[in-house]
Amino acid sequence: MNEVDEKFYETYGKKTKIREYQGSGKKILGSFCSYTPEEIIHAAGLVPIRIFGERTDMEEVNTHVSSWICYYARRCLEDGLQGDYEFLDGIVSVTSDDTNMPMYSIWKKEVGANYAYLVQLPFAINETAIKFYTKILKKFKRSLEEFYSVKITDQRLKDSIKTYNRSRALLRELYDLRMSMSPKISASDTLKIMLASYSMLKEEFNDLLEGYIADLKESEPLNDEKIRVHVSGTVLHDVELLEIIEGCGVDIVSDDLCTGSRYFSFNVDETYEPIEALSRGYLSSKTTCMTCSRQGVYPLDERLSYIRDQVKASGADGVIILGDKGCDLCAYGLPTMRKELGKDIPILYLDVDFPLAAEQYKTRVEAFVESIKG
Amino acid sequence: MEKQEVNHLGFGKFFGPTYKKHLTRQKEFLERGRPCGWYFGYHPAEMNYVFDVVNIFPEQYSAYCASRGDSGNMIDDYLSMGYGSFLCDYFKCSVGAIDKPEVATKPLMPKPDFTVDHHTICLGHRQMAEVHARMYGVPRFSLTFPYLRKEDIGSFDDITKVTERMDEDVLEYAVSILHEFASFLKKMTGEEMDEDKFKSVMKTSEETTKHFTDVLKLFMSKPTPGSQRDLANFPFIGFFIHGSEYGLEYVKKCHELIKERVKKREGIVQDEKFRLITHGIMPWHTLALYDYMEELGATFPLNPYANCSAVLHDSKRPFESMARRMSNFCNVEHEGMLDALVKKAKEADVDGAILFENTGCRIVSLVMRPIRDALHEELGIPSLIVEAPQCDPRAMPVERMKTQIEAFLESLE
Ligand code: SF4
Ligand code: SF4
């Protein structure tokens, strides 16, 4: 077992830390979106984790949702219905899209949760929206305080914000090492670390990651010369898929995944009153799923410009878009994205379907690599 | 199963002249160079009549294309552009129509000067609007009302949208967005808002919504007084033209007809065998499906989709009234939404439900199974879920739908 698997991936795959926290009486809350203001949950002394579905055979879920809904939602619900998340005390979701909102309700009823809260997004980015979202977050804080009989003081919030900012900074550092001209870490290993960040308390994760980054800096780069690629998509947690791509002579050097750079692309300004700081921070993210946007701006332009910046910074030779046909957030913008990005850089679109058709993906990625090599 | 004659109320005969007036207004305004907006979602339609903008509704255009049998070609073109199958049928048709006007139903929609999207039916609307705005390179305004939790409103009436309470922060935010919207329209038209006109449009709207909501309430009478064909044009009025004189005229006439029929205790069929809920966007390409069900003695006193387009206004509180559109069935978390539905189902005294799952529409499809379960758990009544994309006749052949429906009705007997 390599170091990443041992230190990080086990915490996700075997839920080692979660079991440990549970054993010490801590309550675990699961969320469905990168927009969830985890800092507030953390400041309440609870453990925020992200829900992912591991199963690919859909049995129970088809009784509750249509078969064409995104894989993320269906797999989460399947695992929930099969009892894989019985350790959760509650769930928190945000109103980020037409799938996430009903998924929250369906989970609440069919899987069950002692505590359930839906955080309402303002869908806009401006001062009025920030003010509104601050109030929404205050209500969320009050709800946690009442339900769990805790006092979330400003100091606790500030500490949590600091911890999360530190986490985001470390993840950026890790990504830089992946992005360098001689990458020191693969994307599949990076994803394993990301998954660990969703499966343990951030302070512990930070300590682990800090040590790991220090070692990584001293290590030799991954040696072989490969094609450099940016990966675009939403929620990806299937390490195997990245391994298939990497196995075709590709270094994935940047991404705009929800489970990747989008998760840490913003910072929370610690000079504001803490809840307002969170409101400003989360709404400042330029990499939204287009759910909150500025008036007068096409959200897709913002996403495209984020991808272009990433591609420029990473020196990627191509972009691989990982699509889920059931994800409307991606699907509405997909042809435009392909067209616009395709003007500057070769694009490969892969339809992500389960079980993963490894051979088919391999053939397509290999052909893409060959076409880039010319 | 034995067939009966369906005695429609005949709302349809009023609609032709109403729609003609709407088109005439659009034509005249276009000739006068008034700005043209494309509207996506359940927007405060009144503002269009205050600012005299040409109001175009791509969804309604798509439904029209489907009813004319043209949507297949438009959807094929949409697919050839690289879009996926699991998006809204309305979007498919309107994008196809822009890309390949030669296959689209005429008259085409006039080009927009701006788009407006509103998210209380679905968040998909904002993405649809963005795609269309980009296609034409025009500005876009988003009415970003929040999604509601049950705690924000308590219980609510599915028809009037009157809520037990309203969270102050949510209301304040929604009202502020409406003011921003007014500023946007000022910018688009280059004109100030005429306060007198605003008052008068809101008065018209108030009157319209009174008639409108009453018609929907009367629909729940026993026996069911109207058919789904009668109701088919209601969403157009409710979603798009509240505030217009011609909309008011239409609902007034409909109201008179239905009142008369309810007074006489007449139904659409002699022998009302099953009183059912129908939900989901109507399959516009085959409204005859409703005729078929009604001929078999199934009537629909309750249609939450049509109810979505209803709201009761209070012209003394114009902005709050417009904000009330937030508390519609699609914008409230399932718990609240299902409570409202079960309450109405009890009032309407229904025996079951036929639910149309619109492939590609998440907000509608993801509520179908929860509705089925709630009706079963709370009222012990069964539901049939039929896959029915609202504009694509090829995805689910009508004959197959009929077979499923007939078997369901037989099981109810
Ligand atoms: S963003 Fe896409 S993948 Fe995520 S929940 Fe929504 S539809 Fe599913
Ligand atoms: S049919 Fe569904 S996806 Fe399409 S506009 Fe209506 S609610 Fe939205």
Nearest CA to ligand 2 atom 2: B361
Q: Which residues on neighbouring strands pair with residue A252, listed in sequence order?
A: A229
Give the residue from chain B lying closest to A300, CA to CA: B130
For testing the chain A interface, which of B90, B121, B126, B127 should be mutated: the one with the most A CBs within 10 Å? B127
The C-alpha atoms of residue B329 and residue B161 are separated, in whole angstroms, by 9
**Does the beta-carbon distance from A331 to B142 stay under 8 Å?**
no
Check whether B34 has a pLDDT greater than 70: yes
Classify residue A184 by its DSSP letter.
Answer: S
Question: What tokens were used for B238?
Answer: 């409710």
Q: What's the whole-number mean pLDDT along residues A254-280?
A: 94
Question: Binning pLDDT at 50, 70 and 90, where does residue A6 land?
Answer: confident
| Cα distance between residue A186 and residue A249, in whole Å | 12
Average pLDDT estimate for A317-342: 93
Work out the pLDDT band at A101, boundaries 50, 70, 90: very high
Residue of B nearest to A327 (CA): B86
DSSP A94: E
Residues on chain B touching A296 (C-beta within 8 angstroms): 139-140
Q: Give the integer Cα–Cα distance in Å for A202 and A205.
A: 5
pLDDT tens track for B295-317:
999 999 999 999 999 999 999 99
Residue A1 in this model has a pLDDT that exceeds 80:
no
A115 touching B (Cβ < 8 Å): no
Q: What residue of A is the nearest CA neighbor of B128?
A: A332
* Ligand 1 centroid from CA A31, angstroms: 13
Nearest one of A254, A277, A324, A308 to A70, comparing CA atoms: A324
Query: What does DSSP assign to residue A128?
Result: H
Smallest Cβ distance to B142: which of A295, A329, A332? A295
Compute φ and ψ for B54, nearest 5 degrees: -80, 120
Distance of CA B70 to the CA centre of its chain: 21
3-class SS of residue A233: coil
Contact A118 B360 (CB under 8 A): no
If DSSP codes are grouped into helix, strand and coil, which group holds residue A90? strand
| Residues B144, A124: C-beta atoms closer than 8 Å | yes
Summarize the confidence of residues A96-115 as an average pLDDT.
96
pLDDT digits (tens, 9 = 90+) for A198-223: 999 999 999 999 999 999 999 998 87
3-class SS string, chain B: CCCCCCCCCCCHHHHHHHHHHHHHHHHHHHHCCCCEEEEECCCCCHHHHHHCCEEECHHHHHHHHHHCCCHHHHHHHHHHCCCCCCCCHHHHHHHHHHHCHHHCCCCCCCCCCEEEEECCCCCHHHHHHHHHHHHHCCCEEEECCCCECHHHHCCECCCCCCECCCCHHHHHHHHHHHHHHHHHHHHHHCCCCCHHHHHHHHHHHHHHHHHHHHHHHHHCCCCCCCCHHHHCCHHHHHHHCCCCHHHHHHHHHHHHHHHHHHHCCCCCCCCCCEEEEEECCCCHHHCHHHHHHHHCCEEEEECHHHHHCCCCCCCCCHHHHHHHHHHCHHHECHHHHHHHHHHHHHHHCCCEEEEEECCCCHHHHHHHHHHHHHHHHHHCCCEEEEECCCCCCCCCCHHHHHHHHHHHHHHHC
Per-residue model confidence as pLDDT tens digits over B118-128: 989 999 999 99
How far does A71 lie from chain B, in Å, by closest CA?
13
The distance of B83 to chain A (nearest Cα, Å) reads 6
Predicted confidence (pLDDT) at residue A225 exceeds the cutoff of 90: no
Sign of CA dihedral B344, B346, B349, B355: positive
Strand, coil or helix: what is A119? strand
HSE, side-chain direction, 13 A CA sphere, residue A342: 10
Q: How far is the CA of B116 from the centre of ligand 1 (A)?
A: 24
Cα–Cα dist A214/A217, whole Å: 5
pLDDT of residue B30: 97
Give the C-alpha separation, B118 to A36, whole Å.
Answer: 23
The span from the CA of A254 to the CA of A237, in Å, is: 15
Mean pLDDT estimate for chain A: 94
What per-residue confidence (pLDDT) applies to A294? 79
Opening angle at CA B391, ends B388 and B397, nearest 5: 50
Residue A62, number of CB atoms within 10 A of its CB? 13
Residue type, B233: N
Question: Which residue has tokens 């449009």?
Answer: B201
Check pLDDT > 70 for residue A289.
no
SS (H, E, C) A16-61: HHHHHHHHCCCCEEEECCCCCCHHHHHHCCCEEEECCCCCCCCCCH
| B74: its two tokens | 């438009």
d(CA A180, CA A92): 36
Q: Cβ contact (<8 Å) for A101 and B85?
A: no
Could you report the per-residue pLDDT of B335-382, keeping only the tens digit for each?
999 999 999 999 999 999 999 999 999 999 999 999 999 999 999 999
The ligand 1 site (C-beta within 6 Å) comprises A 70, 72-73, 97, 99-100, 234-235, 289, 324, 327-329
Q: Determine the Cα–Cα distance for residues A278 and A266; give it in Å rounded to an integer.
A: 11
> In the structure, what pLDDT confidence band is assigned to residue A292 with cuts at 50, 70 and 90?
confident
Q: Which of A149-153, B66-70, B108-112, B344-348 has the lowest mean pLDDT?
A: B66-70
Domain with residues A17-155, CATH architecture: 3-Layer(aba) Sandwich (3.40)
Its pTM surpasses 0.90: yes
Q: How is residue A92 written in tokens?
A: 């928190």
Q: What is the DSSP secondary structure assignment for residue A222, as one 8-state letter?
A: P
β-partners of residue B89 are: none
Q: For residues B329 and B304, is the Cβ–Cβ distance under 8 A?
A: yes
Q: Nearest residue of A to residue B357 by CA position?
A: A66
- Interface contact B126-A300, CB threshold 8 A: no
* Residues of chain A numbered 320-349 and touching chain B (CB < 8 Å): 323, 325-326, 328-329, 331-336, 338
Please give the share of chain B, as a percent, with pLDDT higher than 70. 100
Q: For residues B179 and A11, what is the distance between their CA atoms, to the nearest angstrom?
A: 49
* Cβ atoms < 10 Å from Cβ of A138: 15
Contact at CB, A122 and B144, closer than 8 angstroms:
yes
Q: What is the distance in A from the centroid of ligand 2 to the CA of A351? A: 24
Instruction: State how far residue B88 is from chain A, nearest Cα, in angstroms.
Output: 9
DSSP state of A290: S
Alpha helix stretches (DSSP H) within chain A:
3-4, 10-13, 16-23, 38-43, 71-81, 100-106, 127-148, 154-179, 187-197, 202-218, 239-246, 261-264, 274-284, 299-314, 328-331, 334-342, 358-373
DSSP code of A124? Answer: B
Q: What is the C-alpha separation between A140 and A92, in angstroms, rounded?
A: 10
Residue type, B387: E
| Token pair belonging to A84 | 């894989």
Among the residue ranges A28-32, A97-101, A132-136, B405-409, the one predicted with the least confidence is A97-101
Query: What are the CA-CA distances from residue B359 to residues A68, A198, A354, B40, B365 (Å)?
Result: 8, 33, 20, 19, 7
Q: What is the pLDDT of residue A287?
A: 60
Give tens-digit pLDDT for B219-271. Answer: 999 999 999 999 999 999 999 999 999 999 999 999 999 999 999 999 999 99
Output phi, psi for A372, to 5 deg: -70, -40
- Our answer on whether the CB atom of B87 is closer than 6 Å to any ligand 2 atom is no
For a pLDDT cut of 90, what percent of chain B falls above it? Answer: 93
pLDDT for position A354: 85
- Tell me the pLDDT band of A286, cut-offs 50, 70 and 90: low
Residue B79 has pLDDT above 70, yes or no: yes
The residues near B323 (Cβ < 8 Å, ≥ 6 apart) are: B145, B171, B174, B175, B178
Q: Is B218 in the pocket of ligand 2 (CB under 6 A)?
A: no
What angle (nearest 5°) sits at the alpha carbon of residue B288, between those of residues B283 and B292? Answer: 115
> Which ligand has its closest atom nearest to the C-alpha of B365?
2
